[in-house]
Amino acid sequence: VLRLRAATDESWAARAVGNLEGVLVDHAHCELKAASNALSMAARHADDPAVVRVLTSLAHEEIEHFQAVNAHLEARGIRLGNPPTDPYVAALRRAHLTVGPSPVAGVVAGAVDRLLICALIEARSCERFALLAKALVPVDAALSAFYADLRAAEARHYRTFIDLAVHTSAGNEAAVFQRLEALSTAEGQIVLGRAGQAVDATIHG
Ligand SMILES: [Fe+2]
Ligand SMILES: [Fe+2]
């Protein structure tokens, strides 16, 4: 179960389908960032072979996602271009500063926060892909099926990051889930604050 506090605004899917080229470009960059983020997190956890194994596998899968989205771009003659800004992710990466001290004890608290923020980004992407898959059914059946597959992958990645956070906290599941609730509340406020703001929909906009 995804622990999202706020549902995406109803108008989002229609706006996304109306700006499909922009959404595909934004999405391709999201996958590329997910891959490079997983690799830089693997480097931060270099002392823990289990974490390195999981995160490098995840990076590998995110590269495959990127290549699949990029193939859709190429088939449509759309240039990848420079990455659009992602104010959602930027705000979420600052959320740990505003939600108070972590119940996770010790030096691993920061690492747990970073893993939980990754989990929430996966959860929100998962929700958005499900909405996109549904809205694309009458428009483009193949692209709809593509997003349904990716939805399942992102749900799995959400779980992976939660498991890594619990592992990093040395099994302090209660504290990790308490922190997840706090960060999830902040994530919901970011999403509600951005609802209706964006003229063109993006994956996290
Ligand atoms: Fe992905
Ligand atoms: Fe992912």
- Taking the CA of 38 as reference, the closest ligand is 2
pLDDT grade for 17, boundaries at 50, 70 and 90: very high
pLDDT per residue as tens digits for the range 68-102? 999 999 999 999 999 888 899 999 999 989 999 99
- Give the Å distance between the CA of 43 and the centre of ligand 2: 18
- Taking the CA of 118 as reference, the closest ligand is 2
- Taking the CA of 65 as reference, the closest ligand is 1
The answer, yes or no, to whether residue 195 has pLDDT greater than 80, is: no
- Taking the CA of 68 as reference, the closest ligand is 1
Task: Select from 199, 204, 164 the least CA-distant residue to 15.
Answer: 199
pLDDT per residue as tens digits for the range 97-139? 999 999 998 999 999 999 999 999 999 999 999 999 999 999 9
Q: What does the alpha-carbon distance between residue 159 and residue 156 come to, in Å, rounded to a whole number? A: 5
Q: Note the Cα 169 to chain centre separation in Å.
A: 21
The token duo for 20 is: 């499909």
- Give the Å distance between the CA of 174 and the centre of ligand 2: 24
- Give the Å distance between the CA of 148 and the centre of ligand 2: 13
User: Any idea which of 46-55, 81-90, 166-175 has the lowest mean pLDDT?
Assistant: 81-90
- Give the Å distance between the CA of 195 and the centre of ligand 1: 23
- Give the Å distance between the CA of 59 and the centre of ligand 2: 9
| Mean pLDDT, the chain, integer | 94
- Give the Å distance between the CA of 60 and the centre of ligand 2: 10
Q: How would you write 41-55 as a 3-class SS string?
A: HHHHCCCCHHHHHHH
pTM of the model: 0.95
- Give the Å distance between the CA of 61 and the centre of ligand 1: 7
